[in-house]
């Protein structure tokens, strides 16, 4: 079985799409992120991720800002390989 590399969201460059693998935080932050739509396996596109200041991400058509500390606790895996290996893409009508 192939193992996916899991890294913090704060290290992802702008323009990349990743999948949420987990959150290393307490119940409060986990429930807050879930309420925002950040659930396991959801696709996240990083809109802006400078080295200082908040990260801007897009999830299910909504943009949101995450503080640096929060982005450090969100673990993601690269989903680009799935798009390249035959996973059906979404087609817009």
Among left, alpha and beta (phi > 0; psi -120 to 50; other), residue 15 is left
The whole-number pLDDT of residue 4 equals 72
The whole-number pLDDT of residue 16 equals 95
Listed in sequence order, the DSSP H helices in 1-91 are 27-35, 68-73, 80-84
DSSP character at residue 50: -
- What are the mean pLDDT values of the chain's consecutive 10-residue runs (93 residues total)? 79 94 94 93 93 90 93 87 45 41
Comparing C-alpha atoms, which of 89, 82, 90, 70 is closest to residue 41?
Answer: 82
Comparing C-alpha atoms, which of 82, 79, 58, 81 is closest to residue 7?
Answer: 79
């Amino acid at each position: 079985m192939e193992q996916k590399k899991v890294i913090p969201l704060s290290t992802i460059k702008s323009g990349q799409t990743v999948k949420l693998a987990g959150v290393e935080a307490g119940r409060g932050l986990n429930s807050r992120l879930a309420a925002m739509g950040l659930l396991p396996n959801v696709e996240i596109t990083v809109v802006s991720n400078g080295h200082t200041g908040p990260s801007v991400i897009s999830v299910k058509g909504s943009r949101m800002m995450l503080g640096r500390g929060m982005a450090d606790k969100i673990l993601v895996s690269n989903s680009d390989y799935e798009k390249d290996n035959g996973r059906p893409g979404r087609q817009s009508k």
